[in-house]
Amino acid sequence: MAKRSGEKNQVILDAAVKTFARSGYHRTRISDIAGQAGVADGTVYIYFNNKEDILISLFQNLMTRFVKELRSELAHCRNTNEKLETIIDYHLRTLGSKPEQARVTQIELRQIDQNINEGISKPLMSYFQLIEEVIEEGKKQALYRQEIDTRTARKVIFGAIDEVVTCWVMSTKPYQLSNLKNPLFELLVKGLQ
Amino acid sequence: MAKRSGEKNQVILDAAVKTFARSGYHRTRISDIAGQAGVADGTVYIYFNNKEDILISLFQNLMTRFVKELRSELAHCRNTNEKLETIIDYHLRTLGSKPEQARVTQIELRQIDQNINEGISKPLMSYFQLIEEVIEEGKKQALYRQEIDTRTARKVIFGAIDEVVTCWVMSTKPYQLSNLKNPLFELLVKGLQ
Amino acid sequence: MAKRSGEKNQVILDAAVKTFARSGYHRTRISDIAGQAGVADGTVYIYFNNKEDILISLFQNLMTRFVKELRSELAHCRNTNEKLETIIDYHLRTLGSKPEQARVTQIELRQIDQNINEGISKPLMSYFQLIEEVIEEGKKQALYRQEIDTRTARKVIFGAIDEVVTCWVMSTKPYQLSNLKNPLFELLVKGLQ
Amino acid sequence: MAKRSGEKNQVILDAAVKTFARSGYHRTRISDIAGQAGVADGTVYIYFNNKEDILISLFQNLMTRFVKELRSELAHCRNTNEKLETIIDYHLRTLGSKPEQARVTQIELRQIDQNINEGISKPLMSYFQLIEEVIEEGKKQALYRQEIDTRTARKVIFGAIDEVVTCWVMSTKPYQLSNLKNPLFELLVKGLQ
DNA sequence: GATGAATGAGAGTTCATTCAT
DNA sequence: AATGAATGAACTCTCATTCAT
């Protein structure tokens, strides 16, 4: 019953999400991750260079899938506003349904060393890119104001969603994250129009 | 010769801002702070309980002053929109002129342990409170839409400003942070109206 | 296709000489040797018990061949002084032409654990024996002084040659090792006469 | 009862000699040295950078004292042969009376990493220098043969003494090391004359 | 209050060795 | 015989914190 190649890689990443979410990045020891994954400490180092590498790989994994799936959802949208709504909805839905991933994304990932930072930037960029594309589209269609600075608008949109998620993660989660989609959408789309 | 009481406390906090900004919270050793402050390692422990305590005190100090001064600026505003503009302006102006403080606020402070978290929440809350007061005022004056959820609007406003500052901190700072006041204000105020 | 039995044994030993010479015994990992030999890590353990065993086998191999060939050269000598000269010549010639082996012999082999020590002593003893035979012969023929302590003389001879080789190994090798044969021979033979 | 400055440095070095001699350099853990010295593990790192640094410092200490004292003994010699005799005598006497130091010098020190190697070379050089001075003096006084290559002669002398010491260290020490002074001297001086 | 040498628990990482395939 | 993924014991080094002076 040989494990499929690459399977252990994923087992370790899954264990890392759980452990980082539970104890925080800096409090997590490699042996915690290994224990959670049911492998030996040394095995972790066969698949990853070090703790930082795990955190980065984790995020790159999540983010790559995130952007890919979001792009495929956007493909079904009939207009730009629907696209903006989809971005907000997908973002809240995805993180709202995976509190552990959300905690890692919102909190642990910000334990920024320069290296981590670089490993994080690139996958994030493609999400930023996607948001900016939608804004540009809206401007081209005269749906959004021409004088809007795309870059700044993207920061507003991402910053707003991100803050909403962070607040939810830090809270005792007495509400559904995705309930905030509509108020968020209204505030943002009005800002753009 | 006799130093005024509390002076050394401030010397250490100033040294901590510098050192945290330069090396990051986790990479900063107490001896680095002590060295920068020109005191012995042990002296740090006369004024603070531990490393975490320094970071929290730091933030509480900054935040208390921040909110106090912001409130006094708001007192001079003639209407609600001007107040919103002042919040954005003051936030960007303050952090834009103190890159080290900005780095600590935006990055290092997020190295959250539960304890730090609580130490941070309280002073932040009073800033949130202040933002929400302005939103409520706008709603009362029918300047802003009635159906807006104040809490969510506050998250959007704070999240947007915060993201803008973080991007600037992480960048090579090729632009003035306060240049972003106007586009930010436009996007946010339109969202509320 | 079928490799001759024992061939892989030699492949591994050859790889070990190279790797020990390049990186030193303690810095060499089994996987380095395996890689250099083009076999799997585990294969090394089919042929050798452990890392120490490789080093010892290596030396025993070299030393056995060394003494055997030296004995056959000595068989052609016409007198005792010529034998002494041949010993020096052969020693310098052999190691001088194989810098990697020389490095292992002079340096890496001295990373002595008790076990290695014993594995080394025995093959060395037969070389010592050979030198002592020549000294005894010279004494019997009244060519060398009677009061000379054979054991001590052997240590002087071996120690001198060994030091000369070690210096060469540690140097950037700007000279031929065998150039030192004559001066070495003169000093040693005069000491014996 | 403040310990004199630098005292703990010496305590650690003394402990290191004992421990290296007992267990060998590579088998010795920092905690072994610390334990033997009666200090905490971390304390070792206040005084030394790492294990290598301890070994090098150790040798530099010993060698510096060795050469200094040997030079002062040589000052009392009435002729060159007496100087040669003194070198041999002092070398055998010093190491013969300190078996632990001898073991470290003869065996453990040869665990050569490049760094250790460099740290060792310099202090050794001054010993080599001293031997060569004596040989040169003998040549100038026509006591020793003119055609002798000083460098090679030094290697013969040092190599011979060194081998004698190593043999003794590796043995069960059933004889006094300094008993070998006379036979060694006779062999070496005759070689030079 | 101030000092800074000393502490020692703690964590990341390595790698010789094993063994199921 | 050969493989190489997995193991886990072992060890170095760091640094927040203490406390005698």
Structural contact between residues B33 and B16, judged by C-beta atoms closer than 8 angstroms: yes
| Residue C157 Cα, gap to closest chain D Cα (Å) | 7
Question: d(Cα C108, Cα C55) in Å, to the nearest integer?
Answer: 9
Look at residues C118, C144, C116 and name the one whose alpha carbon lies nearest to residue C132. C144
Q: Is the pLDDT of residue D116 over 90?
A: no
Residue of D84, D92, D163, D193 to mutate when probing chain C, most C C-beta within 10 A? D163
Q: Is residue D24 helix, strand or coil?
A: coil
Do the Cβ atoms of D110 and C113 come within 8 Å? no
Neighbour tally for A170: CB within 10 Å: 14
- CATH code of the domain in which D78 resides: 1.10.357.10
Question: d(Cα B189, Cα B191) in Å, to the nearest integer?
Answer: 5
Is residue A24, in this structure, part of any structural domain at all?
A: no
Question: d(Cα B178, Cα B90) in Å, to the nearest integer?
Answer: 9
pLDDT in the model for residue D114: 65
Q: Is the pLDDT of residue B3 over 50?
A: no
pLDDT in the model for residue B109: 81
Q: What is the mean pLDDT of residues C102-121?
A: 76
pLDDT digits 0-9 by tens, C135-155: 999 999 999 999 999 999 999
B40 touches strand E (CB under 7 A): yes
Structural contact between residues B154 and B136, judged by C-beta atoms closer than 8 angstroms: no
Structural contact between residues A92 and A160, judged by C-beta atoms closer than 8 angstroms: no
Cα A98 to Cα A18, A85, A95, A101, D108, distances in angstroms: 11, 20, 5, 5, 57
Nearest-nucleotide field for C48 (CA, C1'): E17
Question: d(Cα B74, Cα B81) in Å, to the nearest integer?
Answer: 11
Cα D120 to Cα B166, C104, D76, distances in angstroms: 52, 19, 28
Cα B78 to Cα B68, B81, B116, B140, B153, distances in angstroms: 19, 9, 37, 16, 22
pLDDT in the model for residue B2: 39
DSSP structure class, residue A179 = G
Q: Which two structure tokens, joined as six digits, stand for A118?
A: 């670089």
| Axis-axis angle for helices A80-97, A181-192 (nearest 10) | 150
pLDDT in the model for residue A115: 65
pLDDT digits 0-9 by tens, B134-187: 999 999 999 999 999 999 999 999 999 999 999 998 888 999 999 999 999 999
Task: Write the CB contacts of B62 (distance below 8 Å, at least 6 apart in sequence).
Answer: B101, B105
D41 touches strand E (CB under 7 A): yes
Higher pLDDT, A110 or D167: D167
The pTM of the full predicted model, rounded to 2 decimals, is: 0.86
Q: Is the pLDDT of residue B70 over 90?
A: yes
User: How far in angstroms lies nucleotide E1's C1' from the CA of residue D42?
Assistant: 28
Kindly report the bases of strand E lying within 7 A of a protein C-beta atom.
1-21
| Residue C32 Cα, gap to closest chain D Cα (Å) | 18
Rounded to the nearest integer, the mean pLDDT of chain C is: 92
- C153: buried, middle or exposed (CB in 10 Å: 19+, 13-18, 0-12)? buried
Q: What is the mean pLDDT of residues B103-131?
A: 82
pLDDT in the model for residue C3: 47
CB-based contact, D152 to chain C, within 8 Å = yes
User: How far in angstroms lies nucleotide F7's C1' from the CA of residue A47?
Assistant: 14
pLDDT in the model for residue D3: 44
D10 touches strand E (CB under 7 A): no
Quick one: chain B helix, strand, coil %, rounded to 5? Answer: 75, 0, 25
Q: Is the pLDDT of residue D66 over 80?
A: yes
Q: Which two structure tokens, joined as six digits, stand for A113?
A: 């060393």
Angle at A188 between CA B140 and CA A129, to 5 degrees: 160
| pLDDT band at residue C114 using 50, 70 and 90 as cut-offs | low
Q: Which chains touch B (3 or more CB pairs under 8 A)?
A: A
Neighbour tally for A69: CB within 10 Å: 12
Q: How far is CA B45 from the centre of its chain?
A: 25
Task: Find the CB nearest B191 among A149, A164, A190.
Answer: A190
pLDDT in the model for residue B88: 98
pLDDT in the model for residue B179: 97
Is residue C27, in this structure, part of any structural domain at all?
A: no
Is residue A74, in this structure, part of any structural domain at all?
A: yes
Task: Write the CB contacts of B1 (distance below 8 Å, at least 6 apart in sequence).
Answer: none
Task: Find the CB nearest B167 among A153, A155, A170.
Answer: A155
Higher pLDDT, B4 or A111: A111
CB-based contact, B182 to chain A, within 8 Å = no
For the ranges A23-32, B24-33, D114-123, D174-183, the lowest mean pLDDT is seen at D114-123
Neighbour tally for C150: CB within 10 Å: 16
Cα C48 to Cα C26, C29, C65, C188, D120, distances in angstroms: 17, 14, 20, 40, 34
Look at residues B37, B51, B41 and name the one whose alpha carbon lies nearest to residue B7. B37
Question: d(Cα A8, Cα A17) in Å, to the nearest integer?
Answer: 14
CB-based contact, C124 to chain D, within 8 Å = no
Is residue B12, in this structure, part of any structural domain at all?
A: no
CB-based contact, D149 to chain C, within 8 Å = yes
Question: d(Cα C83, Cα C70) in Å, to the nearest integer?
Answer: 10
Closest residue, CA to C1' of F7: A40
Question: d(Cα A145, Cα A193) in Å, to the nearest integer?
Answer: 6
pLDDT in the model for residue A16: 95
pLDDT digits 0-9 by tens, B91-112: 999 999 999 999 888 878 876 5
| pLDDT band at residue D27 using 50, 70 and 90 as cut-offs | confident
Question: d(Cα C136, Cα C113) in Å, to the nearest integer?
Answer: 33
Question: d(Cα B110, Cα B105) in Å, to the nearest integer?
Answer: 8
Is residue B47, in this structure, part of any structural domain at all?
A: no
Structural contact between residues A38 and A126, judged by C-beta atoms closer than 8 angstroms: no
Report the domain count for chain C: 1
Taking CA–CA distances from D170, the nearest residue in chain C reads C117
| Residue A162 Cα, gap to closest chain B Cα (Å) | 7
Q: How far is CA D181 from the centre of its chain?
A: 16
Task: Write the CB contacts of D20 (distance below 8 Å, at least 6 apart in sequence).
Answer: D28, D55, D58, D103, D104, D108
| Residue C77 Cα, gap to closest chain D Cα (Å) | 23
Look at residues C185, C123, C121, C128 and name the one whose alpha carbon lies nearest to residue C158. C128
* Amino acid at the residue C87: I
Q: Is the pLDDT of residue D2 over 70?
A: no
Q: Walk along chain A (193 residues) and give the pLDDT tens digit of each residue.
A: 334 456 899 999 999 999 999 888 888 999 999 999 999 999 999 999 999 899 999 999 999 999 999 999 999 999 999 999 999 999 999 999 999 988 888 878 876 666 667 778 888 899 999 999 999 999 999 999 999 999 999 999 999 999 999 999 888 899 999 999 999 999 999 999 9
Task: Find the CB nearest C187 among D26, D156, D183.
Answer: D156
Look at residues D58, D74, D174 and name the one whose alpha carbon lies nearest to residue D116. D58
- C144: buried, middle or exposed (CB in 10 Å: 19+, 13-18, 0-12)? buried
Question: d(Cα B52, Cα D86) in Å, to the nearest integer?
Answer: 64
* Amino acid at the residue A6: G
User: How far in angstroms lies nucleotide E16's C1' from the CA of residue B33?
Assistant: 42
Question: d(Cα C123, Cα D165) in Å, to the nearest integer?
Answer: 20
Is residue D31, in this structure, part of any structural domain at all?
A: no
Domain range for A166 is: 55-192
Is residue B39, in this structure, part of any structural domain at all?
A: no
Is residue C102, in this structure, part of any structural domain at all?
A: yes
Q: What is the mean pLDDT of residues D79-95?
A: 97
